[in-house]
Amino acid sequence: MSFKSIFALVALAVAASAVPSPRAVCSTGEVVSHAACCQWIDIREDLQANLFDGGECGEETHESLRLTFHDAIGFSPALFREGKFGGGGADGSIMAFAQIETNFHANIGVDEIVETQRPFALKHGVSFGDFIQFAGAVGVSNCAGGPRLQFLAGRSNISQPSPDLLVPEPSDATDTIIARMGDAGFTPNEIVDLLISHTVAAQDHVDPTIPGTPFDSTPSDFDAQFFVETLLAGTLFPGNGSNVGEVESPLKGEFRLFSDSEFARDSRWDCMRWQSFITDHTAMVAKFEAVMSKLATLGHNPLELIDCSEVIPVPAAVKLTAPTLPAGKSMADVQAACAATPFPTLSVAPGPATSVAPVPPS
C-alpha cells in the first residue's frame, strides 16, 4: 500500500470518528439512530400492555390523542406580543399544572387521562411534554388504517401553566376557531387536517348522560367515515336533548359537535378538503401525519429535539372497508359544501337503519 493510500485511509477514519455516530443497539436488540431513543422502546412496551389494553384503539387511545392537542395548543404568540406569557405549547404543562389547566372549561374530562398517564411518565423519568406526545403517537398507531406519527424527544420538563381560553370549544364560531388556531400557526386547511383525529373519537362530557358516544360509526378505525357522516343532514339528538356545543346527528347513538358540523359545511377555504378524504385514505393519513408534526412541536425548535420516530409502531396493514352511506341513508341526505366538486358516489350499507354503539369504557 502506498503512502498516499494509507494517508487516505487514515483521513477517512479520522473523518468517520469526527462525526459521532449515536446509533445504538438497545437491550431489546432494536437498533436506533440515537441512544436516547432506547428508553422509548421500554415505554412503548409498557404503554401498549398497560395503558392501551394490549394495543387497542379504544378509550385510552382516543383520550391520549385528544390530550396531545390540549397540551400543545396552549401557545399564543399574540399574547407574547402583548407582553404576556402565552404558554409553552407542547410542554407538559397540562400534566404539571393539572390542578389549574384541567379546570379550564374547554379541558373538561382531560383530567382522567392526565391522571392515568402521569404515573407512567414518572416511572420512566421522562418529561411530561415528551410523554404526552409519545402516548398519543403510540396510541393512534393502534387504530386500523392509522398514521405513524413523528416523535421527537427532548422537551424540557420545566413549564408554566398555560393561560386559559386558548383551547377551542365545540360551541365556538368557526371564525373564532380559525383566529385562535391561526394564532398558534395553523391555516384553516390545517384545522381540517387536525380534525381527522375526530374519526377515532367519542364524547363523554358535552352530554354527560351518554358517555362514549362516538362522532362516527367506526371510532376505532382511522377511516374517512367521519367525513361522510358529518355531511349527512342531522335528524336527532342521541341523548337527552340538545347541549351547548352539540347539533343534531344523522344516526342514533352518534354525536355531532357544532364545530365539526360548521367546518364540514364551510366553503371559504379549500372546499374539497373535507370530502376529499372520503376517496383518498393515503392522503388523509399523510395530511394528519404532517399536521401532527407541527402540533407536537408547538413552542419548540424541532431541530433541537432528537428524532425517535423509529420507536413508534408501524400500524398493522389492514384492508379498511371503503366509506359508505350508513344503512337507511341516501345521496339525498348529503349536505355537500362544494357546488363545483360533487360529493363522491358511495354505496349504501345494506340492512335497516342501525344505531351506533358507544365506545366501551376500559
Q: Binding site: which residues? A: 71, 89, 91, 93, 198-199, 216, 218, 223
* Of residues 130-169, those binding ligand NAG (CB under 6 A): 157
In the structure grid, which three cell numbers stand for residue 87, read together?
404558554
Who's near 130: CB < 8 A, 6+ residues apart?
92, 153, 154, 155
**Quick one: what does residue 132 bind among ligand HEM, ligand NAG, none, with the CB cut-off 5 to 8 Å set by partner type?**
none
Measured distance CA(58)–CA(54) in Å, rounded: 10
- In 143-168, which positions are buried (b, 16+ CB within 10 angstroms) versus exposed (e)? bbbbbbbbbbbbbebebebbbeebbb
CB of 16 to ligand HEM, least distance (A): 41
Assess 205 for contact with ligand HEM (CB under 6 A).
yes
Residue with cell string 393502534: 142
Assess 65 for contact with ligand HEM (CB under 6 A).
yes
Please select the residue that binds ligand NAG; options are 8, 49, 122, 357, rule is CB under 6 A.
122
The window from 123-131, 229-237, 273-281, 303-311 that contacts ligand NAG (CB under 6 A) reads 123-131
Mask for 186-225, x = binds ligand NAG (CB under 6 A): -----------------------x----------------
Assess 127 for contact with ligand NAG (CB under 6 A).
yes
**Quick one: what does residue 209 bind among ligand NAG, ligand HEM, none, with the CB cut-off 5 to 8 Å set by partner type?**
ligand NAG
How are the residues of the chain apportioned to helix, strand and coil, as percentages rounded to the nearest 5? 45, 5, 50
273 with 312: CB under 8 angstroms? Answer: no
User: 90 or 177, CB closer to ligand NAG?
Assistant: 90
Amino acid at 2: S
The window from 48-56, 89-97, 155-163, 198-206 that contacts ligand HEM (CB under 6 A) reads 198-206
Give pairs for 276-280: CB < 8 Å, separation 24+. 277/196, 277/224, 277/227, 278/224, 278/227, 278/228, 278/323, 278/344, 278/346, 279/224, 279/344
Q: 199 in helix, strand or coil?
A: helix
* Of residues 142-171, those binding ligand HEM (CB under 6 A): 168-170
Assess 335 for contact with ligand NAG (CB under 6 A).
no
* Of residues 236-275, those binding ligand HEM (CB under 6 A): 245, 257, 259
Assess 99 for contact with ligand NAG (CB under 6 A).
no
Active site residue 70: yes
Burial of 264 (0-12, 13-18, 19+ CB in 10 A): buried
Give pairs for 96-103: CB < 8 Å, separation 24+. 96/128, 96/157, 96/159, 96/161, 97/159, 97/160, 97/161, 97/162, 100/161, 101/70, 101/74, 101/161, 101/162
**Quick one: what does residue 221 bind among ligand HEM, ligand NAG, none, with the CB cut-off 5 to 8 Å set by partner type?**
none
93 with 162: CB under 8 angstroms? Answer: yes
Assess 261 for contact with ligand NAG (CB under 6 A).
no
User: Binding site membership for heme b: which residues?
Assistant: 198
- In the complex, the residues that contact ligand HEM under the rule CB under 6 A are 59, 62-63, 65-66, 68-69, 109, 168-170, 177, 191, 194-195, 197-198, 200-206, 245, 257, 259
- In the complex, the residues that contact ligand NAG under the rule CB under 6 A are 96, 122, 125-128, 157, 209, 240-241
Active site residues: 70
